[in-house]
Every structure is written in structure tokens, then in C-alpha cells.
Amino acid sequence: MPYMAWAQETPKPGPPSAPAPVPNPAQKQAQQQEPTERQELQKAIETAANDRAALVRNLEAFLKKYPESSQRPQIYRAIVESSLQLRDFPSALEYSERLVSLNPDDVSNTVLTIQLLNRYGDVPGYRRAVFYCSRVLEYVDHTPQAEKSPRVSVEEWEQSKKKDKSSLLLVRGDLYQKLNDNANAQKDFEASYALIPNAAAAERLGALAERTKDLNTAIQEYARAFALTDSTTGASSRAELRKKVGNVWRLAHGSEDGLGDYLLQTFDTVTATTAPAKTARNQGAKEPYDFVLRRVSDGSAVHLSDAKGKIVVLSFWATWCGPCRELEPLFERVAARYSGKPDVIFYALNCDDDESLVAPFLAEEKPKTPVLFADGLERLLGVDSFPTTLILDRTGKIAFRTNGFDPDDFEQLLAHAIDRAARPVSEGMPAAAIRP
């Protein structure tokens, strides 16, 4: 059991030392009691076996007998975990707060306590939760970069801090609302949205505006929430938000005329604002050989100039493109045909605006063709639809291009185009083959 380790901890023997002084009667009594306490804790755990309810009862009985036990933090944590599994939330809340008082620097437990108080607390509990939120926010603000894991980039670390603060501000805003402090609630919701635009904060701001009859602000915030919401935001469903924004729009305009255009405009604005900024790469490049691309797997550089004199087969794709998934195995089969020819290179070039989507996609799809970020090559070559497949001949000129594909003849078509491009110029290689 996970509780066994801390229950069985005993001091390890140290190096030989001078004879210990004879303990006085009080010390002797304490030394005699210590093994008894450890033994009783061990017994409380063992007799509970895998029964979580029995474990909680046994540990609470132990705490009544040994209220100042040095094992209290571990015992409290065990009771919290077991109570959560038993869905005994009042008990989980009681002991999580006890643990907060013993170890206020335990951020994960403090956050759990905030969540429990927000859901199951009363007015005094909400006030304590506000205090806990403020303390954790201060901790996040002052966490030094030295505590960053070496596996995480500075950008990822800063983004993680933003997400944590945005979530905490959202919870504290909810708590302020429960305390009827709408002014502070609004400040927290606005700060949460400013850090990370999110549907939950926008919806709450819309509700606050609707209560004060500020219909234009309510429309704006509900529309933002509608544009941002998904299954993970913690906001209402898109269908519910549609009803909310529709209701306020009718109150303001008498009908829903114009609402559709407004929602589309808001969606475009929010998307442009929230899309991760994509670094403009290879801006000065004027031909394919000027490009330096990046491997998705490790970010290492791939210089297309190294492909001079070779045939380069390129598949431009995006994670959101359904036909790209259908094309992938066909493209890989053609690549397998030429695996023994080092002068024919195959690359799958990703064109997603949000590069963070690519690694999880590849982990699921597991493509065999080397995958690189397009890094602006799609702009130079005028790729504006997906999938698009291109062949660059030995001089870097386009020898073949197809936008989309026909699954019945794609492999044969691409293989023939590769063979044509690979022929010496003396054999009459065509300048280019374009297929719409």
C-alpha cells in the first residue's frame, strides 16, 4: 500500500559514537512510547487492508490517541485521498485544510482545498478560499526560473504559469461572486481573460454585464465565449451559449437579425487574437535551396541546399486536413519503393499555424516519412490547399505538382513523375508536369 512506506520509516543506524547518556525518566517514557505509536499506526493500516472506509476510521482513531503525532501530514493526506475515493467530501475538506495549516507551502493540496471549499464550503469557507487563492497566486508570481525543469523551455514554463494564474483568478472570481463582491469578481474574470482568453471568464463577464443591463457588453462577452468554448473550457456548451447570446441580442435589437454575422466576426477576431504566434522563418529565401527547415521530432535543422542534385518529393499537409490522412499511407508506399535510392528524398511538410498540435498528432499517426515544418516554403511555392504534392528536380525546379489526389492512381502517377524527373536531361525530361 502507498501508506506503508511512511508508516514504516525508522532511523537508520549511524556510525559508532560515544555511549549515550542515561535518559531521565521523562525521556525514557518517551522512548518507550515511540515504538508503541509506530506499531499502532502500522496496525491501523494493516487491519484496514484495502478497505478505504476502514482506513479512514482507523487513522481517525489513531489521531484521537496521538493528536500530536509526527506522522500527521502523511496521515492527513491518506485520509484526504481515501475520503475523495469514498466521495466523502466534507471529510476530505476537513483534513485538506488541516494539512494546509501544517504545510502552507504544499501548493497542490492548497489548490485541492480551494476547489473543495468552492464547491462544498460556506461563507466563512469562501473567505478562507479567497485567502488561499491569493497566497497561491503570490507563490506562482514569485516562483524563480531556477525551479524550472530542464526539460521545459522558458516559453513553456512562462505559458504554464499564465495558465495557472488564469485558472486561479477564475476560481477566486467565482468565490467573490458567492460573497456578493461583484466588483472584485469582475476584476478577476477580466484578469483571467487577459492572461489567457478563455470561454469561462468571458461567459462570467457576460453574465455580470447582463445583470446590470449592459446589453452590448453582455453580447460581446457571450459571443467571445461562444467562439472560444470547447469540451475542456469549463464554460457552458456552445448550444447554451448560443441561447444566452441570442436572448441578449433580441433584448437589444428586437430580433436576431445580424447576430450570425456578428458571431462570425467575433470568431475571426478571437481566433486571430488567440492563435499562437508563428515565427516568420526563411523570410529572405528566394528559391527552395535557400530554405532551412526543422524536423518536428527534435527541431534539428534540415538545409534544402544539401539536396542539390537530388530529387526531392514534398507532401504539404496539416493536422486538420482529413484528405491528408488518407494520402499519407499512399505517399509512404511510394517512398518505400525508392528507399534504396539515396538521390530521391521524401519529406512530409507540416503547415499548421499552431505547431503544438503536430507532435500529439504524429504520436497517434506514427508516419514513416520524415516530417518537417514547412517554415514558409509553402508560401514560396504557392501552396494554398491541402494536400499538395510537389517534386523538385535536381536543379530545384518544380517538375510535378498535384493539388489533392485520386487514391486510385496517385501512387502510379507519383512514381512515374519521380522517374521522369530522375532522367538525365539528354533523355528529354519535360520541364514540368502540372496536375490540377
Strands (E) in 126-245, as ranges, are none
pLDDT for 278 equals 63
Burial class (CB in 10 A: 0-12, 13-18, 19+), 116: buried
**Domain endpoint, select from 240, 268, 296:** 268
CATH of residue 83's domain is 1.25.40.10
Q: Report in angstroms the alpha-carbon separations of 324 from 295, 328, 369, 382.
A: 19, 6, 13, 18
pLDDT for 230 equals 76
Q: Report in angstroms the alpha-carbon separations of 356 from 43, 156, 359.
A: 50, 11, 7
Residue 348 lies in a domain: yes
The residue behind cell 497566497 is 135
Return d(Cα 46, Cα 62) in angstroms, integer: 13
Using only C-alpha atoms, the chain has a radius of gyration, in whole angstroms, of 32
Domain check: are 208 and 297 in the same one? Answer: no
Domain check: are 421 and 333 in the same one? Answer: yes
Residues 166 and 196: beta-carbon distance below 8 Å: yes
Q: Specify the 3-state DSSP secondary structure of 336.
A: helix
Sign of CA dihedral 414, 415, 416, 419: positive
Q: Specify the 3-state DSSP secondary structure of 323.
A: helix
Cα first-last separation, the chain: 65
Residue 93 lies in a domain: yes
Q: Report in angstroms the alpha-carbon separations of 420 from 181, 315, 331, 414, 427.
A: 74, 18, 17, 10, 9
**Domain endpoint, select from 219, 237, 268:** 268
Return d(Cα 332, Cα 286) in angstroms, integer: 29
pLDDT for 21 equals 53
Domain check: are 118 and 217 in the same one? Answer: yes
Return d(Cα 282, Cα 202) in angstroms, integer: 37
The identity of residue 433, as a single letter, is: A
Domain check: are 224 and 169 in the same one? Answer: yes
Domain check: are 203 and 302 in the same one? Answer: no
Beta pairing class for 301-303 and 311-317: unpaired
Nearest Cα neighbor of 201 from 234, 227, 232, 176 is 234
Domain check: are 397 and 305 in the same one? Answer: yes
DSSP 8: S
Domain check: are 333 and 212 in the same one? Answer: no
Sign of CA dihedral 324, 326, 328, 334: negative
**Sheet (strand 301-303) strand order:** 301-303, 292-295, 371-373, 344-350, 311-317, 388-392, 398-403, 433-435
Residues 345 and 306: beta-carbon distance below 8 Å: no
Residue 18 lies in a domain: no
CATH of residue 357's domain is 3.40.30.10
Structural domain tally of the chain? 2
Domain check: are 406 and 339 in the same one? Answer: yes
Residue 25 lies in a domain: no
Residues 173 and 192: beta-carbon distance below 8 Å: yes
Domain check: are 198 and 301 in the same one? Answer: no
pLDDT for 432 equals 44
**Domain endpoint, select from 268, 302, 318:** 268
**pLDDT values of the chain reduced to their tens digit, one per residue, 436 residues:** 343 333 333 333 344 443 445 556 555 555 555 568 999 999 999 999 889 999 999 999 999 999 999 999 999 999 999 999 999 999 999 999 999 999 999 999 999 999 999 999 999 999 999 999 999 999 999 888 888 787 778 888 888 899 999 999 999 999 999 999 999 999 999 999 999 999 999 999 999 999 999 999 999 999 999 999 875 567 788 899 999 999 999 999 999 999 999 999 999 999 877 766 566 789 889 999 999 999 998 899 999 999 999 999 999 999 999 999 999 999 999 999 999 999 999 999 999 988 888 999 999 888 899 999 999 999 999 998 999 999 999 999 999 999 999 999 999 999 999 999 998 755 444 444 444 4
Residue 7 lies in a domain: no
Residue 274 lies in a domain: no
- Rounded to two decimals, what is the model's pTM? 0.61
Sign of CA dihedral 262, 264, 267, 271: negative
Full domain range(s) for residue 419: 288-435
Domain check: are 107 and 251 in the same one? Answer: yes
